Chains A and B, each alone.
Chain A
Amino acid sequence: DAGVIQSPRHEVTEMGQEVTLRCKPISGHNSLFWYRQTMMRGLELLIYFNNNVPIDDSGMPEDRFSAKMPNASFSTLKIQPSEPRDSAVYFCASSLIVATSGYNEQFFGPGTRLTVL
């Protein structure tokens, strides 16, 4: 089975440009998470969706960041305009939440390494 798919794997852009990161979760999973990893702040949860609905976006750093999940098999994280401090690795993860079954493992994608010059 395919795991979580992220594209692109690497992105280099200039300050001020719009950046769109893409994620395809594992088929059948109902929750999707976007994380950001930096040296300074480690792994941070930015936003997560359940059944395509954003549940908690308190980790989104500012209005320049937005995320959508138009259907169960696709999500985007957009940064507009991008800034050098947005340079990081962005991970997408998915899981299948069943309310009565306890915690469900999150499967992570390979990440997108973003560099903003």
Chain B
Amino acid sequence: AQKVTQAQTEISVVEKEDVTLDCVYETRDTTYYLFWYKQPPSGELVFLIRRNSFDEQNEISGRYSWNFQKSTSSFNFTITASQVVDSAVYFCALSEDYNTDKLIFGTGTRLQVFP
């Protein structure tokens, strides 16, 4: 069965600190996709990144970076030099079936960045 675990319920940091959000997934498929979404206090879900299972290269986008490791079934998300505007709930998600695009979400990690 497919499952996404975000063990960190809530993280608090002070502005400019680096923070890593953990994501561990379970799947029996060899082809799958992993995602991160951001949900700011306003409530909408904002797409951050998609990664397919064949591409283990780490990705960096500005202050955001993602570390995908198939050996440990993890897809961790790091924010460098965090800012108050990064405060949000972050969801990791998994899709095994690209013919249907079904997403299985983790329970989310609430990040609070204090000034």
Residues of A bordering B, CB below 8 Å = 31, 33, 42-45, 48, 50, 55-56, 89, 91, 93, 95, 97, 99, 102-111, 113
Contacts and interface: CB of A to CB of B under 8 A. Distances in A.
Contacts of A99: 99
Q: Is the interface of B mostly helix, strand, loop or mixed?
A: loop
B86 to A, nearest CB: 19
Contacts of A55: 100
Contact of B107 (A42, A48, A95): A42
B100 A91 contact: no
B43 A111 contact: yes
Nearest to B34: A103
Interface stretch (B13-21, B44-52, B60-68, B69-77): B44-52
Contacts of A33: 101-103
27 contacts: A31-B100, A31-B101, A33-B102, A33-B103, A43-B105, A43-B108, A45-B102, A45-B103, A48-B100, A48-B101, A93-B45, A95-B101, A99-B99, A102-B33, A102-B98, A103-B98, A104-B98, A104-B101, A106-B47, A106-B101, A106-B103, A108-B37, A108-B44, A109-B44, A110-B44, A111-B45, A113-B43
